[in-house]
Structure 1
Amino acid sequence: MMVQPQDSYLITKVQTSSPGELTLMLYSGCIRFIKQATVCIEKHDFEGKHLNFVKAQNIIEELHSTLNMEYEISQQLSSLYLYMNELLMKANTKLDVEAADNCVQLLTELRDTWSEAMKTLK
């Protein structure tokens, strides 16, 4: 299998990013997949909808699995990630664009807060 130049760039970016930068990339990717799924709903592309929602759910599951539950903030994020996963399942099975939009809103707030925290630490 031949690696495309844009794939090589992405692989290098992931391999050289800090854990904080990787988290930011996961938030952004999840938002992108949910928005793509919403477009697929509007186009009646149900296979594309499902594929993109599953990708978003996989990211949420990855974020959830990396939490250190010794910290209170991790327990709060755990509840939030579980809620977002429920929203994504609802959006996927019931074609609920509002549930998807709510998830995008939550993820955007998390991403922006995470980005600001990273700037503060530099």
Structure 2
Amino acid sequence: MYKSKGIQAYRKDSLKSDLASADPHRVIQLLMQGALEKLALGKGCIERGDFAGKADSLTRAVQIINGLRDALDRDANPELVDNLESLYDYMVVQITEASVSKDTKVIDHVMALILQIKGAWDKISPADKQMAYANQNEARVGAV
């Protein structure tokens, strides 16, 4: 029990440190990873019959997915944002359904969707990230 709490405290501090120095791209990567971890934990809780743990883990996964949805930049690519927003809404509905039905296959499906998005996100090159940040800064300066 003590080791587990120590590891959790270390991971929490490590995550805080990573977030404090992260660029927006890295923050989204960390959020996606966090959602995947909470979904996996929720799935394990269902399999073990730990329904309080299931509720906590899946609620946190939904909160993270809602955070991803709220972080979407509508100005960047409205059509893509609409598609991602719909997909995130779908995921939330599926997670809620999985929580009620205790169906781990639904959780696997949501995890696969997040992995697809994360895989595409992870392939964004440093040059493309820098170009996006530069364009974003230009848009802010032009708006002032």
Contact persistence 1:20–1:118 (CA under 8 A): no
Structure 1 CA distance for aligned equivalents of residues 103 and 31 of structure 2: 23
Alignment of structure 1 residues 37-76 onto 2, 5 Å: 37-70=42-75, 71-76=78-83
TM normalised by structure 2 equals 0.77
Q: Which runs of 5+ in 1 are unaligned?
A: none
Q: 1:25 aligns with which of 25, 30, 37?
A: 30
Q: Which has the higher contact order (CA 8 A, sep 6+)?
A: 1
- 1:81, distance to aligned residue in structure 2 (A): 0.3
**RMSD value over aligned CA atoms?**
1.5
Q: Which runs of 5+ in 2 are unaligned?
A: 1-8, 130-144
| Aligned residue in 1 for 2:105 | 98
Larger Rg over CA atoms = 2
Aligned in 2, Cα 1:86/1:11: closer, same or farther, shift over 3 Å? same
- 1:108, distance to aligned residue in structure 2 (A): 0.6
Structure 2 CA distance for aligned equivalents of residues 78 and 95 of structure 1: 25
| Aligned residue in 2 for 1:117 | 124
Structure 1 ranges of 4+ moved more than 4 A: none
| Aligned residue in 1 for 2:12 | 7
Alignment of structure 1 residues 72-91 onto 2, 5 Å: 72-91=79-98
Contact persistence 1:57–1:85 (CA under 8 A): yes
Of stretches 79-88 and 66-75 in structure 1, the one that deviates more from structure 2 is 66-75
SS of the residue corresponding to residue 72 of structure 2 reads coil
TM normalised by structure 1 equals 0.90
| Aligned residue in 2 for 1:107 | 114
Structure 2 CA distance for aligned equivalents of residues 6 and 24 of structure 1: 16
- 1:6, distance to aligned residue in structure 2 (A): 4.3
